[in-house]
Structure 1
Amino acid sequence: MATNTVDPEVAARGTLALLQTRLHRLEFLLSGYSNEEGIPEPTLAPARSNDTIWAKLHSLEAEVVKLNKLNGQAGEVVRNVERLSSTYPDLFLPTTSPSDIPRSQDLNTLASIVLSHATLFPETASRLSSLQTLQVPPAEQSSKLASLIPRLAQCKEAERSMGEDIRELRERSTRCLEWWVKIGVIGTADLYEDWEIRIHEIERHLIRSERRAGEEQGYL
């Protein structure tokens, strides 16, 4: 009776291939870089203990504790965030779930899409790190800006009132122009036409009178 046996060498090669694929995925998650073939560069072990992930996490926790103890705006912001996280923990939960992953494409297509946007990860990280160099403005400047809010509201109200006045002046100008066209232009033209008709009638009357007078005197 024949039995289906798997060649140990083939099984070992398949296992190594699967392990290598998982290793590439982990390396890509850690570095965010890959070559043209989609294979990430190998991740080297940290030379110092301070470069490990756990050491960086402890360092971040220490920095957060320092910020929490500050008396300025930065400390207040950190304390507000912690208060929100303790009161509303759902705000800091990821909004996506495994069911939200698109199933219309296969795994290779989705992987190619992710790899095509791999350069955005270090770019975004560099932008976020550049934000750390920005200094928080002093509280005096913030209070001065806050004191300008009522004046800005008054300026906005004055601008709205001026806009209403300008709109009313435009409507009045339009009505004046319409009146001037109807009375000053069309009315004057009608008046001139009436005068011209009357002058022609007077001229014809004079011509008839002169002709009649000439006939009576024997000139004609």
Structure 2
Amino acid sequence: MTLESDAVAGATIELLEARLRRLTYILTGATDWNGVPTTPEKPASLDETVTRRLARLETELEQLSRSIPAVRDVLQLHDHNLDLFQTTPPHEIPEGLTTQTLASIVMSYATAFPETASRLTSLNDLPVPDAQSSAALIELQPQIDRVAHMQSEQAAEISELRMRTARVLQRWYDVGLVGSGECWAEWEGRLEDVEREVRRSEVIRQRREEEI
């Protein structure tokens, strides 16, 4: 009895996992290289969860139904006539259709038949690449990979040189321009002080000469 219960529990878990994978694929539409649906990314905030997004959509739809009469009429039609909005699987033919109705449905797609046939014919007319050319391209692939690797290394070196150039320019600006400006300002201040002392000495000398 325990083995049967374990088997039932294992089968139930497998079915639930299969359903979860199908729902994940429906939500994300992405799979890994094994075909297993990838886990959706965690929402950045609570407002990005599925329930909040559905609530916002319902609120927006309700606002549209209040402001636009056509939307309100469609919603009322959907509520009272659900059978009109049920889709029929493509592999099942609806019951109750007459031969004339089926013929009209087929004839509505008649214009697409010649176009499809012409496209298939154009595929047959496409030239097949030469085997030697394809083999030569395959042989060149390692060289192409080496060139691509060399280009990536050169791009990294160019990026580093740009950063070093920016640092050199910044250093030249700080030392060459700003430092020179501060030096000239200091020299100018010293010259003004010297000129002030010289003028003061001349004034004192003139006063002494006048007293004599």
TM-score (norm 2): 0.50
TM-score (norm 1): 0.48
Quick check: which one's helix share is greater? 2
Higher relative contact order (CA 8 A, sep 6+): 1
